[in-house]
Amino acid sequence: MGYKITVAGATSNLGREILNILAERKFPAEEVVALSPRRSLGTEVSYGERTLKTRDIDSFDFDGTDMALFALDADDARKYAPRAAESGCVVIDGSDAFRMDPSVPLIVPEVNAAGIESYRERMVIACPDAATSALVAALKPLHDRARIRRVVVSTYQAVSGAGNEQMDELWNQTKGMYVPGQEVEPNHLPRQIAFNVIPQVGAFMEDGASRAEWQIVTETKKILDPSIRIAATCVRVPVFVGDAESVNVEFADFLDEDEARDILREAPGLLVVDKQEDGGYVTPVETVGDFATFVSRIRQDPTVENGLNLWLVADNLRKGAALNQVQIAEILGREYLQKG
């Protein structure tokens, strides 16, 4: 007997990718239900070779559902997750609604899968932002070897992480640049995104950091080690899919680039492509549709005693978000729920 699974927010970029990955990885599901808020009700979505029609999440009865993979925004997640959890359904949430709740585990399977065990307190498991997922996957094996003191990270984040409307805005602005007399107006992003970069991802907070910068700092500390000092700058770039990160790491112990390269090659979920020649690295366009976080440009930082620089890239929808949720569901099924 397989599991009854719901994907809430199935019409979003993330929801569609979750359905794709569930089918690709042949998740042992007896039934998969696509849910959406009323504004997207009745939309058809693909699940392998099947087509699912979305059902109304407001009227859906979660009784008998084993797991709900949430691809909703934070407000909707806060609204619907408690109802699902009270019905005995484990919620795997992709929004930031529960990430910093101390009673909710924040999980990246390659890094802290053992933390899934504490899901029973709230029946909710949170997933970090895609940029955090890529970062902690690369930092964890290095931290185990040489203990990280400080990280400075700059992210270059695709518009798909913001949503469908932002993707449309990039497309329309790019086309509009070639139409004489047509003005390029930002509607869903704070500035023009076509042929531009925007040093803001998310709203600004009281200390001047953006929401995304706050997330990458607090989430990394919760997942990896609260003693690590982290400075982040998050930038929105005119790329549809694929996030990139420039990472500077300062360690307590010496770690040379060759050993770091070997450690990263052995780490789960990572793929090192670091040829140190023209084009001998990975860029966002090559990551689309891939399950790996790619690591390139591994080199010493001579300005600090024990420093390294890294370049990380990953498909933000697939690897950074959807796969994380599906992997958690797989572990839940295999090690905790254990349905026949």
* 3-state secondary structure (DSSP) of residue 259: helix
Report the distance separating Cα 130 and Cα 29, nearest Å.
25
Q: Is the pLDDT of residue 339 over 90?
A: no
Position 180 pLDDT exceeds 90: no
Above pLDDT 70, what percent of the chain?
99
pLDDT number for residue 38: 75
Query: Is pLDDT at 128 greater than 90 in this prediction?
Result: yes
| Domains of the chain, start order | 3-127+321-337 (3.40.50.720), 131-158+197-314 (3.30.360.10)
Cα 333 to Cα 327: distance, rounded to the nearest angstrom: 10
Range with the lowest mean pLDDT among 15-24, 32-41, 282-291, 307-316? 32-41
CA–CA dist 66, 218 (Å, integer): 30
The structure tokens listed for 92 are 């795997």
**CB–CB of 12/71 below 8 Å?**
yes
Q: Token pair 């993707």 is at which residue? A: 167
Average pLDDT over residues 27-41: 88
Residue 296 has pLDDT above 80, yes or no: yes
Q: Order of strands, edge to edge, in the sheet holding 67-70?
A: 55-56, 29-36, 3-8, 67-70, 90-93, 124-126
Q: Mean pLDDT for the chain?
A: 96
Which of helix, strand or coil describes residue 284?
Answer: helix
Does residue 12 have a pLDDT over 80? yes
Local confidence band at 269 (pLDDT 50, 70, 90 cut-offs): very high
Residues in contact with 20: Cβ distance below 8 Å, sequence separation at least 6, in sequence order: 46, 322
pLDDT at 272: 98
| pLDDT, mean of residues 287-298 | 97
Whether 164 shows a pLDDT value over 80: the answer reads yes
Q: What is the pLDDT of residue 43?
A: 86
Band (pLDDT 50/70/90 cuts) for residue 10 is very high
What does the pLDDT average to over 25-52?
90
Higher pLDDT: 180 or 30? It is: 30
pLDDT tier for residue 107 given thresholds of 50, 70 and 90: very high
Examine the pLDDT at 340 and tell me if it is beyond 80.
no
Per-residue pLDDT, 338? 75
- Place 178 in a pLDDT band, splitting at 50, 70 and 90: confident
Taking alpha carbons only, the member of 198, 202, 204 closest to residue 186 is 198
